Amino acid sequence: MQVYNIIDKPKITNPVVTIGIFDGVHKGHKYILNKLISRAKEVDGKSVVISLWPHPRIVLNRDMWNFRLLQTHDEKIHHLSKLGLDYYVSVPFDKELASMNACDFVQEYLIDKLQVTRLLLGYDNAFGRDRQGNPDGFLLCAKKSGLTVEKLDEYRAANGIISSTSVREALLIGDLPLAKKMLEYDYYLKGEVIQGNQLGRKIGYPTANINPQSPYKLIPRDGVYAIHVEHDNVFYKGMLNIGLRPTIDSANPVKTIEAHLFDVEMDLYEKEVTIHFRKRIRDEQKFNGIVDLKDQLVKDEQTARSVLNEKD
């Protein structure tokens, strides 16, 4: 898959295009993207995904306290590249673009810049000023611009509608199995290992404190997880706690992400790692003291090892 910024004015022969954010590249997205690839082959064209970046809500500062993404831009490109698409074209999003109506967007970006003649849209695709860029709105624009527009049916799985929002909701309640069914991969989080208070080392459970790579990346529900930690393409088994560490930090509640690796001692300080969430074991809880906490960590390790051994 070739990656371009639309500013570069890529020369694409007979582009067959879809437009969307595609956060998570989940099963619903893949339904659209596989249709796109199929349609492009039917007309001897090239499959092209056009996506806005940064995310419109970041630029417009809308409800940012509750806004989280399933993927960074680079992660999205990585997942799209595995599907067999020909091109990914990023459109820089700003407030000027946000004020543009759908038909002007079609003319300026699709017709003038990419010479698009065929467009596929998901059933709920919408963008542009006042969300005029809905599938029905695009049909009207097509009459003016000569585009052929195909509006796809809604994709439904056995467990209902799949959307980026539904994946986020599953992760925020700790339902990793449901999230994985929709994503078709284990959710993951990249970050740098930073200095912690090293209390875990004193009780036999040294931890790597993770600082997420992106401030917008969704962090799953607080609790204890069985995980794999990826570093330099090697996967290590471990467990992880997300939360406020109430047993030791009750007077200074600051959320932390701490990973403990099994059967290996290595210095990951200032190194980048990827946390692959395999299963949520339990809620975070406050214990009567360090001894009770350590006893529970022993139980958590046994549970996590059992989970991870099943995945081998």
Give the pairing type, strands 256-261 and 208-212: antiparallel
In this prediction, residue 184 carries a pLDDT of 97
Is 186-311 in the same CATH topology as 2-161? no
Residues 39-57: tens digit of each pLDDT: 999 999 999 999 999 998 8
- Rounded Cα distance between 86 and 49, Å, is 8
Tell me what the pLDDT averaged over the chain comes to: 90
Report d(CA 242, CA 94) in Å as an integer: 34
The stretch 204-230 carries a mean pLDDT of 94
Query: What pLDDT is recorded for position 251?
Result: 56
Give pLDDT, residue 130: 47
pLDDT above 80 (res 173): yes
Average pLDDT over residues 167-178: 96
pLDDT at residue 262 greater than cutoff 70: yes
Domain boundaries, the chain: 2-161, 186-311
- Continuous H helices in the chain: 27-42, 56-60, 73-81, 95-98, 102-105, 135-145, 164-172, 176-183, 199-202, 246-249, 290-311
Residue 128, pLDDT above cutoff 60: no
Which one of 3.40.50.620, 3.30.70.20, 2.60.120.620, 3.55.50.30 gives the CATH number of domain 2-161?
A: 3.40.50.620
Give the pLDDT score at 249: 65
Lowest mean pLDDT among 29-33, 151-155, 186-190, 233-237: 151-155
Greater model confidence, 204 or 176? 176
For residue 37, pLDDT beyond 90: yes
d(CA 296, CA 164): 35
Would you state the pLDDT for residue 197?
Answer: 67
Reported as a pLDDT band with limits 50, 70 and 90, residue 83 is very high
DSSP secondary structure string for all residues of 31-52:
HHHHHHHHHHHHTT-EEEEEEE
Q: Tell me the CATH number of domain 186-311, given options 3.90.245.10, 3.20.80.10, 3.40.50.1460, 2.40.30.30.
A: 2.40.30.30
In this prediction, residues 221-235 reach a mean pLDDT of: 97
Q: What sign does the dihedral 215-218-221-227 (CA atoms) show?
A: negative
**pLDDT confidence of residue 84:** 97
- Residue 50, pLDDT score: 97
Q: What percent of the chain has pLDDT over 70?
A: 90
